[in-house]
Amino acid sequence: MDRKELEQKILELVAISYKKNADELSLETSFKADLQGASVQMVALVAEIENETDACVTLQDAAACETIADLVDLVENEL
Partner 1 sequence: MSILDTIYAKAKQNPQKVAFPEAANEKMMQAAYEAGRDGYIYPVLLGDAEELRALAGQRGYEPEIFTFVDLNDEEYKQKVIAAYVALEDTRLKEKALARRMQDPLYYAMAMQKVGEVAVTFAGIDNTTGDVLLAGQMMIGLKPDISTVSSIGLCDIPGFEGSEGSLLAIGDSAVCTNPNPEQLADIGISACETVESLLGWEPRCAFVCYSTLGSGQGELIDKVTEAVKIAQEKRPDLAIDGEFQFDAAISPAVAAKKVKRDSKVAGRANVVIWPDLNVGNVAVKLIQQFGHADAYGPMLQGFNSVVCDCSRGAPVSEIKGNIIISAVRAAGMKK
Residues 12-71 that bind partner 1 (CB under 8 A): 38-40, 43-44, 46-48, 50-51, 56, 59-60
Are 67 and 29 in contact, with CB atoms under 8 Å apart? yes
Give least dist CB 53 to partner 1, A.
9
- For the chain, the farthest-separated pair of C-alpha atoms sits apart, in whole angstroms, at 30
Q: What is the spatial distance between Cα 26 and Cα 35, in angstroms, rounded to a whole number? A: 12
The separation between CA 46 and the C-alpha centre of its own chain, rounded to angstroms, equals: 7
CB nearer partner 1, residue 6 or residue 69: 6
Binding site for partner 1 (CB under 8 A): 38-40, 43-44, 46-48, 50-51, 56, 59-60
